[in-house]
Amino acid sequence: MQQKKDIRALSLEELKTIFTENGDKAFRAKQVYEWLWKKSARTFDEMTNLSKNTREFLNAHFVINAVSIDTMQVSSDRTIKNAFKLFDGKIVEGVLIPSNTRMTACISSQVGCSLTCKFCATGRLERLRNLNADEIYDQVVLIKNQAEEKYQTPLTNIVYMGMGEPLLNYNNVMDSIQKITSPEGLNLSPQRITVSTAGVAKMIKKLGDDGVKFNLALSLHAANDQKRNKIMPLNETNTLEVLADALKYFYEKTGTRVTYEYIVFKDFNDTLEDAAELAAFCRHIPCKLNIIEYNPIEDGEFQQTTPQRLDSFVNFLESRNIIVNVRRSRGKDIDAACGQLANKNKISS
């Protein structure tokens, strides 16, 4: 028996060819495409402006590999963590983060991760595969619906900061953003989207070449190669000098200010000397700096810094005219905070 094709892997032009070869009108493809990407249809039977024969043809030859919510946990601060089940039974996690001014979806780009960052629970997981563009898109739709149904508030922002390294799944991430931002898709502004990378220099340059309109965040966490090598093995081949070069290239091509993310660990990267090194790195290009409190993971070797050290660190940076935001973690009680996504949820049978 012939295996059904994933219809969302096809372009509009490919759909047009299929319909005309089947003796149908070419505009049928546009109707189906709109159902898939603008109306987020999960079955062909939802496509009510298609004839019964067309829907039967689609059901016979194609499949929509819709992502579903396997389990959901709600934090005391209203953060919602979702375990999403993929068509092959694998699980990724995504988080709805509500605040006074934003409703943010934090989504995953890979099943697991290959980068083994020492402070991150996801880094302990094996990378099983990349997510397809439609699987990334589905996470946004499910979290968007959650925001509207549970909090009566539209989704305002999307961050690619869940499981995986987005720039190691470049084509699918870019395709998902196209579907999310296109008028033929969800029509969300690219300026409301942030892609976070651990620092894949070659792909940061490619973002510049592609003239992307979304925001870029770099997980920095140390502005000293020796320290960064210890916590982020990727730095051994993507040193701070190499990264700085890539970031300058990105800024020259896009004019977009980059955000640096810096988790402050007790007795590791929280001294004024560390702050001075960070301030020096921030001088390469216009940037913003998010200081993030550490969320301890099981058997982790790092601890959260003290409030006094954090204040001194931030005051030093602000005295150097650097834009600094201190991010307080959300959803810690359900392991939904930054660095805590580790698929603790069991896959439902």
Give the count of beta carbons closer than 10 Å to the beta carbon of residue 13.
10
DSSP 32: H
Kind and range of the H or E run holding 103: strand 103-106
- The CA-atom distances, in angstroms, between 293 and each of 87, 233, 270 are 35, 21, 11
**Phi/psi-derived region of residue 263, left when phi > 0, alpha when psi is between -120 and 50, beta in every other case:** beta
Q: Which of residues 167 and 22 earns the better pLDDT score?
A: 167
pTM of the model: 0.92
Which segment of 100-114, 157-171, 198-212, 284-298 scores lowest on mean pLDDT?
284-298
Residue 299 confidence (pLDDT): 65
Whose tokens are 């993971």? That residue is 297
Residue 349 has pLDDT above 50, yes or no: no
User: Number of C-alpha atoms within 13 angstroms, CB side, residue 325?
Assistant: 10
CB 259 within 8 A of CB 288: yes
Residue 347 confidence (pLDDT): 33
C-alpha 106/C-alpha 112 separation (Å) is 15
CB 341 within 8 A of CB 122: yes
Residue 338 confidence (pLDDT): 53
DSSP 43-55: SGGG-TTS-HHHH
Residue 271 confidence (pLDDT): 96
Residue 123 confidence (pLDDT): 67
Residue 114 confidence (pLDDT): 85
pLDDT tens sequence across 237-296:
999 999 999 999 999 999 999 999 999 999 999 999 999 999 999 999 999 999 998 877
Specify the amino acid at residue 198: A
Choose, from 113, 117, 282, 338, the residue flagged as catalytic.
Answer: 338
Structural domains present in the chain: 5-63 (1.10.150.530), 68-334 (3.20.20.70)
Q: In which band, very low, low, confident or very high, does the pLDDT at 339 lie, cut at 50, 70 and 90? A: very low
Q: Which of residues 66 and 124 earns the better pLDDT score?
A: 66
Kind and range of the H or E run holding 20: helix 12-21
Question: Is 14 part of the annotated catalytic residue set?
Answer: no
Residue 301 confidence (pLDDT): 79
C-alpha 155/C-alpha 271 separation (Å) is 38
Choose, from 14, 56, 93, 126, the residue flagged as catalytic.
Answer: 93
Question: Is 120 part of the annotated catalytic residue set?
Answer: no
Residue 345 confidence (pLDDT): 44
Q: In which band, very low, low, confident or very high, does the pLDDT at 236 lie, cut at 50, 70 and 90? A: very high
